[in-house]
Amino acid sequence: MQSQRLFNLLTLLILVILTVGLLIYTELAASAYIHRIVVGLAISIILVVSLNLINGMTGVFSLGQIGFMAIGAYTAAILTLPLSIKEGNLPDLPSWLAQVELSFLPATLLAGLLAMIVAFLVGLSLMRLSGPYVSVATLGFLVIVQVILVNWDEMTRGSRTFSGVPPFTTLWWAWGWTILTIYIGWRIAQSMYGRRMIAVRDNQIAAQSLGINVMRSRLLAYCLSAFFTAVAGSLWAHFILSFSPKSFYFVETFSVITMLVIGGMGSVSGSILGAVLITVLSEILRNAERGIAIGPIDIPPVYGASQILMSIIFILVIVFRPKGLLGGREIDFNRFWSWLLLKKPGKPVIQGKEVE
């Protein structure tokens, strides 16, 4: 097995080097358009991996995680907004806030912390529910956050656009956080604890008999997920530079859920794969929406076509591969290499001992 682990580590190292290489290339040579997509991809990955922590690994399917993204975005943006802009845009801010202007990292961390606290308090009541009830209740949370954001004018400018956010999100910030999130997600999933959670995710009785404290593990997953989702919110806020409560509602929720489901719930690599696929697909479709010419045929602009196609793809995946493209498992590098090197399918490149 030592050789197996070494092999996996080697593959991982190659991936990391490739990724860093791609990032450097993007930073130096790629167009602004590609640059934007790569940053956006990082944020999406954080969102999906965080979503996987709660939706993929526990028996709770939360529909409200984007609420935490909103909390993260607004909190961090309020904290980093330059004082002069604060005076202009948020004149009624309480004085202790009006005088604060933080840099990126502290603001993001505070935003994440706030989200975690909210998650803890909300989770105390919600995480004991199950099945459809917890889904509807978390949806309620999303609506509550939306209502608060739209009506708390002093803090959020209500439904008006919140702008003037300093453009702190660089490629490196975004991907730095992404790598951290992936690492933590991976460690949890791979730990004995994580593996047990996934195995019994839909069966509470089995979970309890394995000595898993269901409430505690759910609460932990919920809070961690909230933290990273809020971080993603902060990154996004300082990337897009202006937003409103509408930016954090159902369309975004469906988008992130689609990425998770397509890649495979319960799998960290699946989450990443889903994020990459959907991001690429969305871009292609969005361009197509404006009308393209394929040879002699002119396809006219079709508004909403990308959404329609996405939902059709989603339904197809659920019907034919309900566990996602990776079947809920992590990427098996062995299979990948043997496929790549055109060896006999299924025969691992490195022979490991059969794990019973």
Partner 1 sequence: MTTLQYLTQQGINAISIGSLYALMAIGLAMVFGILRLINFAHGDLIMVGSYGALLLLVLGTPFWVAALGGIVASTIAGLLMERVAYRPIRGAPDVSMLLTSFAVTILLENVAILVFSPTPRAFPAPSFLNSTFRFGQLQISKIDVVAIIVAVILLVLLTLFVTRTKLGISMRAASEDLLAARLMGINVNGVIATAFALGSMMAGVVGLLWSARVGKVDPLMGFYPVLKAFVASVIGGLGSLPGAVLGGFLLGFLEILLQGLLPSSLAPFRDAFVFVALIILLLFRPNGIMGSAEREKI
CB of 220 to partner 1, least distance (A): 13
Nearer to partner 1, 36 or 128 (CB): 128
Residue-wise over 267-286: b if at least 16 C-beta within 10 A, else e? bbbbbbbbbbbbbebbbebe
Could you tell me which of 73, 71, 249 has the C-alpha nearest to residue 165?
73
Which H/E stretch holds residue 298? strand 297-299
Nearer to partner 1, 119 or 165 (CB): 119
Nearer to partner 1, 109 or 139 (CB): 139
Burial (CB count within 10 angstroms: exposed 0-12, middle 13-18, buried 19+), residue 302: middle
Interface with partner 1 (CB under 8 A) = 55, 61, 125-133, 135-137, 139-141, 143-144, 147-148, 150-151, 202, 204, 208, 214-215, 218, 250-251, 254, 257-258, 261, 265, 302-305, 307-308, 310-312, 314-315, 318-319, 322
**3-class SS letters over 105-161:** HHHHHHHHHHHHHHHHHHHHHHCCCCHHHHHHHHHHHHHHHHHHHHHCHHHHCCCCC
CB of 83 to partner 1, least distance (A): 28
CB of 211 to partner 1, least distance (A): 14
Instruction: Enter the DSSP assignment of 293.
Output: E
Nearer to partner 1, 232 or 259 (CB): 259
Nearer to partner 1, 39 or 310 (CB): 310
Spell out the residues 6+ positions from residue 45 whose beta carbon is closer than 8 angstroms to its own. 178, 181, 182, 271, 272, 275, 276
CB of 140 to partner 1, least distance (A): 4
Nearer to partner 1, 120 or 250 (CB): 250
CB of 167 to partner 1, least distance (A): 31
CB of 162 to partner 1, least distance (A): 18
